[in-house]
Chains A and B, each alone.
Chain A
């Protein structure tokens, strides 16, 4: 399908300085769906006593992944920006484990892309966090 669009989105995501600083990896992209991974790193810990990652790092992962899903939707002309993003934290991510998230752009209009995402660690049955957001659809 739209492999060129996916390639472009992939290129764009991999060039983001903040994602590089967090060692985020794009693992899958195409057709309004994207998956990304955030490796565990002690420098982004939010609770030094337990070693649990900070919510902000999970936010960055989910925001990027949701943006990638919006960008690679077949009806999306190109870039996107976050209008709003809500994150629900279900539990602490297990220290030492990577956080992986999958986002889906489930509806897109001429102006707005609606996206949702779920984040898990090694225990995939119990989500770490979920996100829902609205993203801009840039005019050509």
Chain B
């Protein structure tokens, strides 16, 4: 029995990128901050390009703590939603037409979010990655790390708990 031929790489990539794009750019706040996501396979890196409107202390200047919190929370929520949708994206069960029309899948809701400010956010681009430590049927726990120039020099980290969208509605 012949094995099914794997899909062409462009088709796979296009489906993954379309899903990610819809997830990220459908949210006004994410566009307001200017956050973008880069993808390598299923690994996501969030990017926050520096902009004057992100400044919290004009004297230093430094990125606003609330911007850092919003950036990390966005990274956590998108990372969590992405890992939950991955199987549906790969199998093609997730309808790309509905996504492109703006029908986003229901997103996890933040229960609590704790940010550690390790050093002040410099007026440069920032990067963040989320790790889903536990994702159950109802609750999830996600950790996020954020850095600027050096990957090993974090300027903030956060842990959040999330309520997963219920399966039946």
Contact = CB atoms under 8 A, between A and B. Distances in A.
Interface residues on B, range: 35 or more
Interface stretch (A1-9, A84-92, A110-118, A120-128): A84-92
B95 interface: no
Interface string B105-147: 0010111111111001000000000000000000000000000
Interface stretch (B2-10, B13-21, B28-36): B28-36
Contacts of B120: 81
B102 interface: yes
A138 B161 CA distance: 32
A21 B66 CA distance: 12
Main SS at interface, chain B? mixed
Interface residues of A, number: 37
A21 B33 CA distance: 10
B69 interface: yes
Contacts of B102: 48
B65 A67 contact: yes
A56 B66 CA distance: 7
Given A17-B58, A83-B117, A88-B112, A63 B32 contact: no
Given A48-B104, A57-B29, 18 more contacts: A17-B53, A17-B64, A45-B27, A46-B27, A47-B27, A48-B28, A56-B66, A59-B69, A59-B70, A59-B73, A59-B113, A64-B65, A82-B65, A83-B116, A85-B115, A87-B114, A89-B109, A89-B112
Interface of A: 15-21, 42-49, 53-57, 59-64, 67, 79, 81-89
